[in-house]
Every structure is written in structure tokens, then in C-alpha cells.
Structure 1
Amino acid sequence: MDNAFKKFFKEKSGFPKFKSKKQRRDSFHVPQAGRVDFENGTISVPKIKNITARLSREFKGKIKTVTIRRTLSGKYFASILVETDGQLPKKPTVRESRTVGVDVGLKDYAVISTGERIDNPKCLRKSQDKLSIAQYRMSKKCKGGFNREKQRRKVARLYERITNQRNDFLHKLTHKLTHDNQVDSIVIEDLSVKNMVKNHCLAKSISDASWSRFFEFLAYKCDWHGKNLLTIGRFDPSSKLCTCGVVNKDLKLSDRKWKCS
């Protein structure tokens, strides 16, 4: 509660809201009191010992906080914040010969300056029919009933599956970009996704693409692996060639390639 009001007065978030008893996201924090047993695959917190868990990876360091949360689909996750003495690798000097540009889009998720195109997975679009049917069935159930809660969990599992598919794609793409031995620097555009989703014709596709999360993953992985992440202005036009400066005033959204005369 204290942190929520501090963020509110700093104008970083809205006024704190009380948690709902019916629609709540259950979670609790355990500061500096958790213990992880990698050999037996268990997590222990005060008053709850030896909780069987599927541990994603082994880590070394001092445990600062353990957060236990339950998702809307009924699954439990533990997020562990660890303090280590490790240092980030030093970043090399930016050189044009070892720099690539990445342009995100909707038809192709990303176009790399090497000419490679990454297909857009469209995770939400591909599952839209199943999701619509599940939501329709939930709307026909009596509110507060057992069958409605059962159907609500089915809808939550579908959303969870879509999120997992999207995160898997983003992790694989950012891993590929940051593990290229021939690349020291990556250039991206400083997009204002918040303003772009105001376009109601493209808002759903932009949200499905999750560019903000892609940039977030790319930023911390560049820090981890000693890569430079550079941004260019969002108002630099795509109709202008970077080499000769020619501007194509008739450029349309459907135009993928063009050459100057």
C-alpha cells in the first residue's frame, strides 16, 4: 500500500485500488526468508516448507525476495529476486560494419538490414476463433455459478497459452539477435506504441505484436551479452533513403521496397 501511494504521488501510476474478493490476483511477498533446494526441487518459505516445484534454472547469490502468485488459470508461480556479485560485460565500440538495423512491423514482424525477414506469428489472431467460442460459452453461464467459474478458467488458459506462445517467439528472436558473433550493435526505432494503438484499425494487431515487450527483452539481453542497443528518432521518415537523401512522397503503407531514380 505504501509503495502504491508513493508511485501515485510521483505521478507514475493511478490512484491505488482495493483488491476485489471475487476477481483478485492472489500473491504475497516473502522478503529475505526463502530457501531453494535444487537437488530435491523444492522451495521453502516461512510456515510453508518443502514446496515441490519445477525449477527453471539454477542460480547463485543471496535471495532478496520470493513472490508467490496464482494466475487466473489456477497455476502457482514463484518469482525469486537474487543479488549477485557478477558484473555486466563491457560493450565494444560501435562500428558500422558490425551493426544491424531492425525494423518492426505487422506484415513481417521484423526486417533486418541484412535482408532477412521474420514472419509475424500473430498468436492472438490464430487463436481468435477458439477464444471467441470459449468467451461466448462463458457469457451464457450463470454468474457466480460453478460452471461459469469452470468456463472462466478455460478462457484464462487460452489467454495464458497465447501469452506463452508470444513470449517464446520473442525470447527466441532476441536470443538470435544478441548471440550473433558478427554483430556488436543493434539499431531500433524509438516507437511510441502507446500512441500507435490509438489507431483503431491497427490497435489489435499492434497489441498482438507486443513490440514494447520485444524492445524490453532486447534491451536487457544486449546488456547481458555486451551488445550496443541504439535507437533512432521515431519521426525519421521511411520515405527517405539514408544514402542519397531522396524522398519518395508517394510512398504507401503497402509498399515494401522501392528504389530511387
Structure 2
Amino acid sequence: MKARYQYRFYPTDQQQQSLARLFGCVRVVWNDALAFCKQSEKLPGYNKLSAMLTQSKKTDERKWLSEVSSVPLQQSLRYLDVAYKNFFNSRNGKILGGKVGVPRFKKKTNSQSAEFTKAGFSVKDREVYLAKIGTIKPVWSRELPSEPSSVTVIKDCANRYFLSFVVEVEPNLTVAKNQSIGVDLGVKTFAVMSNGEKALSPNYSKHDRKIRKLQRKLARQQKDSKRRNRTRVRIAKLHNRISDTRKDFLHKLSTKIVNDNQVIVLEDLNVSGMVRNRRLSRVISLQGWREFRSLCEAKSEKFNRDFRVIDRWQPTSQVCSYCSFRWGKIDLCVRSILCLSCGTEQERDENASRNIEMVGMGHRHDLKRTGSDCKTTPVASCCEPSRIIDVLRR
């Protein structure tokens, strides 16, 4: 299986100028090809776009395209061709999931990237040579597992430079400690596992407040001014701090869960619908639930684990995990529940995580739990105490 290994590097002043020229050429080639595609009645393929690039290098307006390597320019055209194919396949229903939008023009202020294939780079003596750029010394935080097939040079909005290698990795066939685990995702407590463990979410509020303050300042500044550009870079750096903190937390948590369990069960959350809540949308967007699911899925394939996702309509928060008694919907402020059928008091998220594990392993909520001595009653009698306890009540 293929994986990406990313390393940061610090280019010299001369290399920064060469990379800026390369990023500009890649952006111009993409925008010119996209403009031609929009004007054409029939979508041109990669071969026709590549021939147009060769002709444009001979003109006076685009002769400076020959100053950089041709490999990233050709890769830019290939990605544009793939982007249009994905757009039409999504519109025709050939691709499942959300709709893929039409390709858009690239901007200078966004993150820049250029990809080199084997013909345009080489790795030797812990140094990377890029065609018409020079030798780069990245910070090798870990060794490459195999020879890379391609490398992408990335410059983010905060003016940081990275090298991203595509390598082939072998699956890890280690034996897991536990058979299965269910994970219930939340806001304050990011993940509650069915084995009782909890993972608290990092606090992003400090950087988030600074971002909101700087964004108000950015809106009042004149466009294309130096002060506005400095403010934009400050905002980008704060966003990167939040992103790096979240990525580090999600990688460590997903690796621990996948290493210790053979079957990982998650719930299919409707995140796009949940962010419509005005009070919780910003907090939910900062958590990275979808990214966590993608990491668990990818690492499960790497470690030869079984990754499962249950239906979003399963009533995991409405059913007792011990006796399968269903008490119905309850408010989010209620964090502790007392079951009238079996008399068990349990925490809401822990109960949901156990239900997620049972459903993922093939159990059903309409069946009694095996080995349970209590009998499930359809409704509670009027003389019985309340089945819901609010631990936040004072």
C-alpha cells in the first residue's frame, strides 16, 4: 500500500526565488488550461493540453515557462484532467458521497505545490535534488521505508516549506491485545471507548479567539496592502497551530486504538447537518471527526485490522447497553441515565460506546442481552422513580 511521508525543509534565499518561480509557472499553466477548457465546447484531454503547453513555450508571452522543469507543469495538466473526470463522474452518479465541484482557478495567496516524478528528482546521502531547483536538505524526522515514486514540494499559507514523498509500505501484521472496541465521539470529551477509557479534546479556544480578532482587523484593512498581507500571514500561522495540534492528537489517538484492537467500530455521524447548529457549529468544526475516521480507516488497512461503521440511525443513546431497554430521546444536558428495567445507572457516552460496539459486532437492540437476569419492560409504571438523572443538577 502507498503512504505519504512529509518533512519540513528550510530553503535558501536563492532556492526560495526558484521555488516561487516554479509555483508561479505551475499556477499559470493550470489557469491557462482551465480557461481553455471553459471556453471549449468539448472537453480537451491531457494530450491536447500538453501539446498546447509545448506551443505556448515558443511564444513571447510564455517563453519563461522553459526556465523551470517541465515535469511539474505536465503533472499540473494531469491533475486538471483528473479533476474534470471526477466532476463529471460525480454529476453522473458514478462516484458515491458528496458532490464534487468543478475545478477552480488557483490563487497566489493560497497554498502552492508542485509535484516531481522520478524523472525530476533524486534522493542521495540524505539530500534531495530537484530539477532546476538544486539540492535540498530536509529535516529527516524518520527514515523513508522504501524508494519514493514521487515528491511534492508544498508551501503553505504561513510560508512554511514541506517535501511530501509517496512511498510503498508493507502491512504490519502484529496481533492486537483486544478483540473489539466501540468509539463514541463528542465535543468536550473527544472519544469515549467501550472499555471505559476517555480522550479529552485539546483546547483550541485561545488561538480561536485570536483568529476571530485578527479576522475583524483584516476586514478593515485595504486590499493588496503590506499590512493586510502581514495580518493574513498571522492568521495563517494561528490556523496552522490549531491544525498541527489537532493532527498530532488525532494521529496519536488513532494509532493507539488501532494498535490495541482487532475490530474498530465507529458511528456514521452527519457532520454536515450537525454544523448547522449555530451554537455548536464552530466547536464541532474544530474537532476533526471526519479526519479521525479517515485516519482509523487508513491505519486499519495498514495494521490488518477490521474497521466498521454503523448506521447513523442506530439509537445508541436511547437504549440500555445492559438490558436493551429503550428509553427514547433525551436532552444533551442529561449526562447520566438510570435504567428502570435493570436498575443500572451509567454515563451517557459510555453507554453509547458499548452500544456502538455491540451493533458493530452483529448484536441487535431488539434482542435481550445474553446472560442478563432482568426482564425488559416496554414502559415504566407510574409509581416507579424517574429513569433519567441529570448529574449537572444542583
TM-score (norm 2): 0.59
SS in 2 for 1:10: helix
Deviations 1:29-67 (A, max 9, x none): 111232223x4x422121222112112321143322211
- Larger mean Cα displacement after TM superposition, 135-144 or 74-83: 135-144
Distance 1:99 1:28 in 2: 42
Distance 2:300 2:172 in 1: 10
SS in 1 for 2:151: strand
Unmatched runs of 5 consecutive residues or more in structure 1: none
2:173 to 86, 89, 92: 89
User: Could you tell me which residue of structure 2 aligns to residue 127 of structure 1?
Assistant: 207
User: Could you tell me which residue of structure 1 aligns to residue 158 of structure 2?
Assistant: 73
Counterpart AA for 2:223: K
Counterpart AA for 2:86: K
TM-score (norm 1): 0.87
CA gap of 1:156–1:255, structure 2 versus 1, over 3 A, is: same
Matched residue count: 251
Unmatched runs of 5 consecutive residues or more in structure 2: 1-79, 91-98, 341-394
1:110 to 185, 191, 212: 191
Say whether residues 1:195 and 2:273 are aligned partners.
Answer: yes
1:102, distance to aligned residue in structure 2 (A): 0.8
Counterpart AA for 2:190: Y
User: Could you tell me which residue of structure 1 aligns to residue 244 of structure 2?
Assistant: 164
Output the aligned Cα RMSD. Answer: 2.3
Counterpart AA for 1:17: R
Distance 2:88 2:286 in 1: 32
> Which one has the largest radius of gyration?
2
1:23 to 109, 120, 126: 109
Greater helix percent: which structure?
2
- Larger mean Cα displacement after TM superposition, 142-151 or 156-165: 142-151
Distance 1:55 1:151 in 2: 31
Report sequence identity in percent: 32
Deviations 1:202-248 (A, max 9, x none): 22111111100011111112222232222222111111124422111
Distance 2:337 2:311 in 1: 21
1:29-40 aligned at under 5 Å gives the runs 29-33=115-119, 34-37=121-124, 39=125
Do the aligned partners of 1:91 and 1:227 also contact (CA within 8 Å) in 2?
A: no
2:256 to 172, 176, 182: 176
